[in-house]
């Protein structure tokens, strides 16, 4: 396993249209900081090289993140997802000094008003952009993550998104396809063939031609999944949810086993053999 995506909190003040943790938001926390450290330590022993902190809004547990970084950051490339709303320059500096590599700021449209509507929070876009600048100024790595909906999936919009990411100094641009989970459950949101063709053509152009040389590196997991199969379920990464339960990935909602059990290796090996059920 290369990457562990660890959801550390159920807390969030946003109402994002695509939130996969919608049914868990703002419920009582199940994992203490020591539980989280226990989970991270187990996966470090298994050889992970990258840890991504997720939620909820991870920064709602800011002090616990600092604790985890100080205890477990050695030898790990650690990033945290964030909506950016509460990410100040001072917090960025504290995170950097504790061992954080970078932040993944969620920005789902290059037009502020549309992003704010998608996120259910007035002023969300302005705070997210400010967070990108605070992180860059503090010397942290910066990625922007976007859920590309059917409505947004046009070449013009994708080019504008990439330009926005470049203008504000992001190093990476992560493109995510919507899934009918969480707040999108039972909704017709999956990209259609024409949208996938547009998204993949944009990715190919930006990553494999001179046109993309001056723009952020694009990560687009679904592109690789369609060609190599899912890399979740312990092949290269997996997801531990806010209850400490191991799932194949953030979008596969079946809970396989507790990451807090004494020895996770047999259960993990069994999950690898099963693979991605979707």
Core vs surface per residue 109-136: b (16+ CB within 10 A) or e: bbebeebbbbbebeebbebbbbbbebbb
Strand order in the sheet with 237-240: 217-219, 172-176, 141-147, 102-106, 77-82, 50-54, 3-7, 237-240, 245-247, 257-258
Task: Compute the distance between CA of residue 161 and CA of residue 174 in angstroms, rounded to an integer.
Answer: 11
pLDDT digits (tens, 9 = 90+) for 34-88: 999 999 999 999 999 999 999 999 999 999 999 999 999 999 999 999 999 999 9
Phi first, then psi, for residue 163 (nearest 5°) are -65, -40
Neighbours of 145 (CB within 10 A): 18
SS3 of 248, please?
A: coil
Task: Compute the distance between CA of residue 97 and CA of residue 99 in angstroms, rounded to an integer.
Answer: 5
pLDDT digits (tens, 9 = 90+) for 118-160: 999 999 999 999 999 999 999 999 999 999 999 999 999 999 9
Task: Compute the distance between CA of residue 56 and CA of residue 168 in angstroms, rounded to an integer.
Answer: 25
Identify the H or E element spanning 270.
helix 265-274
Dihedral sign, CA of 173, 178, 181, 183? positive
Do 189 and 178 contact (CB within 8 A), yes or no?
A: yes
Do 210 and 217 contact (CB within 8 A), yes or no?
A: no
Q: How sure is the predictor about 274, in pLDDT bands with cuts at 50, 70 and 90?
A: confident
Q: If you count them, how many residues does the chain have? A: 278
| E runs forming strands in the chain | 3-7, 50-54, 77-82, 102-106, 141-147, 172-176, 217-219, 237-240, 245-247, 257-258
DSSP code per residue over 33-71? HHHHHHHHHHHHHTT--EEEEESS-GGGGHHHHHHHHHH
For the chain, give the mean pLDDT: 94
Q: Is the pTM of this model over 0.85?
A: yes
Q: How sure is the predictor about 276, in pLDDT bands with cuts at 50, 70 and 90?
A: confident
Q: How sure is the predictor about 278, in pLDDT bands with cuts at 50, 70 and 90?
A: low
Structure tokens at 275: 């693979």
Q: Lowest-confidence range among 20-34, 56-70, 189-203?
A: 20-34
């Amino acid at each position: 396993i290369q990457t562990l995506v660890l959801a550390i909190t159920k807390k969030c003040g946003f109402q994002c249209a695509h939130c996969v943790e919608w049914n868990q938001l703002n419920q009582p926390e199940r994992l203490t900081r020591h539980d989280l450290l226990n989970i991270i330590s187990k996966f470090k022993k298994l050889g992970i090289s990258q840890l991504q902190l997720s939620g909820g809004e991870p920064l709602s547990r800011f002090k616990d993140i600092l604790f985890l970084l100080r205890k477990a950051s050695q030898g790990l490339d650690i990033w945290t997802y964030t909506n950016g709303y509460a990410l100040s320059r001072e917090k960025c500096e504290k995170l950097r000094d504790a061992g954080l590599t970078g932040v993944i700021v969620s920005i789902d449209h290059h037009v502020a008003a549309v992003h704010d509507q998608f996120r259910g929070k007035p002023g969300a876009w302005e705070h997210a952009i400010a967070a990108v600048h605070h992180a860059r100024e503090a010397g942290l790595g910066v990625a922007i993550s976007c859920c590309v909906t059917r409505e947004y999936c046009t070449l013009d919009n994708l080019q504008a998104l990439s330009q926005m990411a470049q203008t504000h100094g992001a190093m990476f641009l992560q493109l995510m396809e919507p899934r009918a989970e969480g707040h999108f459950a039972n909704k017709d949101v999956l990209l259609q063939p024409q949208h996938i063709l547009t998204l993949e053509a944009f990715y190919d152009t930006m990553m494999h031609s001179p046109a993309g040389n001056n723009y952020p590196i694009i990560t687009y997991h679904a592109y690789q999944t369609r060609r190599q199969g899912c890399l979740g379920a312990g092949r290269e990464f997996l997801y531990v949810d806010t209850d400490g339960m191991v799932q194949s990935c953030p979008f596969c909602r079946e809970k396989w086993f507790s990451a807090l059990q004494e020895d996770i290796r047999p259960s993990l090996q069994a999950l690898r053999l099963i693979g991605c059920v979707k």
